[in-house]
Amino acid sequence: MTNWQDEAEKIRPQLLADLSTLLKIDSSRDVAHKTDEFPLGPGPAKALQAMLAIAERDGFETLNVDNVAGRIAYGDGDEIFGLFGHMDVVPAGPGWETDPFTPTEKAGRLYARGSSDDKGPSIAAYYALKIVRDLGLPVNKKIHFIIGTDEESAWVGINRYLETQPKPDFGFSPDAEFPIINGEKGIATFAITFKPQPAAASALTLTSFTAGLRVNMVPQSATATLSGTLPDTWPALLTSKNAEPGITIESEPTADGITITATGKGAHAQEPKDGINAATHLASLLASLHLDSTGHAYVQAIAEHMHEDSRGHHLGIAHTDSLMGDLTASPDLFTYQPTGEQSVMLNVRYPQGTDPDQIISAITATLGAANVAVTVSGHAQAPHYVPSSDPLVKTLLDVYETHTGQPGHEQVIGGGTYGRILDRGVAFGALMPDAENVMHQANEYMTIDSLIQAVAIYADAISRLAN
């Protein structure tokens, strides 16, 4: 009987060396520098090429699809068993104590953007596949390890792959949590665009409001500029706001007014409560000032309907399902110019029982059709669920229990993984249930021991599922 943990320990040095190579690449989507060769920018393509080069070095058959997706293949059979990882990362953002693209080991933790989401788990799954191959274990299915480069945004890579390559029959993505994720809420980002309002003279005018890096990241910082004269109560308002936990407001005079910057805590948009939204805090502060009517309408809508309300009650979109839990709402990108764009991008993770059309209707009714237009930005993903009775789910839970001694159970999350691509697709690890989730946050890390344990779990799972 194979001792999977012993086999995983043997590859620890090489895994860390290869992972370090991947983590050094800033592979965040960068379409501002896209070319015909690099449709998503050079970083995602470079990371994909590096991952495929590792597999080629080790003797695997590989495929590069237009520098936006790739495949590592092994085995043969009538069915295709799929593994799904991604090499893109969200932007590093502020607040790091180390260089996010210089992998740094401290106290058994490997710090870098992508260490947990998803380069670390992907390399763990790769080495698991390599162990199965190197041990010569029986495989009677094709195994396709499919690698995307745009999972954090529009799924360009994986969609392009599926246009030209066969879809696996079943599989899992090492891009979430153990014991398993066999359900995922629907995901949609709603563009709330404020309609132009007649300008009115004011002693204090909002001249800009900006916040956010991506639609799936709670904004850690936000900045507003005002022109005109601040009220005498401003110092007291600033002091009061700074007394609130986890939020810092700083201001700096300008030639005609002031620049105000708020700093909170970033987080993955799947659970807004894990962060402190700098933008909504800043809006709530500005809403207490006598701003011009247009600026006031913008910050008041945010303060009244989006601030500290992760379940969408104040927007009228709250919904709970007994299986999938609560809808979550995370306002993540903010743009305001007095005579230009005035918008909020709201990322919503919704359970079964509601849909984008209902959400649009509710937001429009709450904010007023005369004031805003609400549309889906990009593509909406419907809720996904693989029953706990499915042999795939049963096998993976048994593997988890064997390696951890802990009882397995099904889970539904607000995050979106490539597991939802397949009718029989799930997410499986690599984050342990008691581990801190720092995906999309500053100082992202993965413990090295947990990566090695994930290799053992994945190798056992691949061996069972491919046989």
Q: Residues with Cβ < 8 Å from 405, sequence gap 6 or more?
A: none
Mind telling me the catalytic residues? Answer: 88, 151
Q: Single out the residue in 335, 365, 381 at which a domain terminates.
A: 381
User: What total of structural domains would you count in the chain?
Assistant: 2
Q: Single out the residue in 381, 398, 422 at which a domain terminates.
A: 381
CATH of the domain at 98: 3.40.630.10
What are the CA-CA distances from residue 124 to residues 70, 304, 431, 449, 452 (Å)? 17, 45, 12, 11, 7
What are the CA-CA distances from residue 109 to residues 13, 285, 442, 449 (Å)? 15, 38, 14, 8
**Nearest residue to 343 via CA among 354, 353, 359, 332:** 332
Per DSSP bridges, beta strands 425-427 and 170-173 are parallel
Strands (E), 79-168: 80-86, 104-106, 109-111, 142-148
Q: Residue 250, Cβ neighbours under 10 Å: how many?
A: 12
CATH of the domain at 224: 3.30.70.360
Together in a domain, 41 and 167: yes
Note the pLDDT of residue 184: 96
What are the CA-CA distances from residue 415 to residues 155, 255, 279, 318, 439 (Å)? 14, 44, 22, 18, 11
Q: Single out the residue in 358, 381, 404 at which a domain terminates.
A: 381
In the three-class reduction of DSSP (H, G, I as helix; E, B as strand; rest coil), residue 237 is classed as helix
Together in a domain, 411 and 314: no
Together in a domain, 101 and 231: no
Q: Residues with Cβ < 8 Å from 377, sequence gap 6 or more?
A: 189, 190, 191, 215, 345
Q: Report yes or no: 439 and 404 within 8 Å, Cβ to Cβ.
A: no
Together in a domain, 298 and 437: no
**What does DSSP assign to residue 123?**
H
Q: Residue 417, Cβ neighbours under 10 Å: how many?
A: 24
> Quick check: pTM over 0.75?
yes
Q: How far apart are the first and last CA of the chain?
A: 15
Note the pLDDT of residue 359: 98
- According to DSSP, the residues that pair with 192 across neighbouring strands are 344, 374
Separation of alpha carbons 179 and 195, rounded Å: 46
Together in a domain, 203 and 181: no
Together in a domain, 132 and 150: yes
Half-sphere exposure of 187 (CA within 13 A, CB side): 24
Cα pseudo-dihedral 100, 105, 107, 110, rounded to 10: 60
Together in a domain, 252 and 314: yes
Q: Report yes or no: 95 and 442 within 8 Å, Cβ to Cβ.
A: yes
**Token pair 């891009």 is at which residue?**
175
Would residue 429 be called left, alpha or beta, if left means φ above 0 and alpha means ψ between -120 and 50 degrees? left
Would residue 213 be called left, alpha or beta, if left means φ above 0 and alpha means ψ between -120 and 50 degrees? alpha
Helix axis angle, 12-23 to 119-134, nearest 10°: 140
What are the CA-CA distances from residue 349 to residues 155, 157, 189, 216, 224 (Å)? 17, 22, 9, 10, 28
Tokens of 157: 């890579």
DSSP states of 164-193: HSPPPSEEEESSEESS-B-EE-EEEEEEEE
What are the CA-CA distances from residue 277 to residues 171, 218, 242, 333 (Å)? 35, 6, 14, 11
Together in a domain, 206 and 332: yes
Strands (E), 68-169: 69-74, 80-86, 104-106, 109-111, 142-148
Together in a domain, 132 and 86: yes
Sign of CA dihedral 300, 301, 302, 304: positive
> Digits of tens for pLDDT over the chain (467 positions)?
899 999 999 999 999 999 999 999 999 999 999 999 999 999 999 999 999 999 999 999 999 999 999 999 999 999 999 999 999 999 999 899 999 999 999 999 999 999 999 999 999 999 999 999 999 999 999 999 999 999 998 899 999 999 999 999 999 999 999 999 999 999 999 999 999 887 777 899 999 999 999 999 999 999 999 999 999 999 999 999 999 999 999 999 999 999 999 999 999 999 999 999 999 999 999 999 999 999 999 999 999 999 999 999 999 999 999 999 999 999 999 999 999 999 999 999 999 999 999 999 999 999 999 999 999 998 899 999 999 999 999 999 999 999 999 999 999 999 889 999 999 999 999 999 999 999 999 999 999 999 999 999 999 999 999 99
Domain that holds residue 291: 187-381
Together in a domain, 303 and 433: no
Note the pLDDT of residue 232: 93
Together in a domain, 193 and 296: yes
Q: Residue 182, Cβ neighbours under 10 Å: how many?
A: 27
Note the pLDDT of residue 199: 73
Together in a domain, 419 and 457: yes
Q: Report yes or no: 265 and 248 within 8 Å, Cβ to Cβ.
A: no
C-alpha 81, offset from chain centre? 25
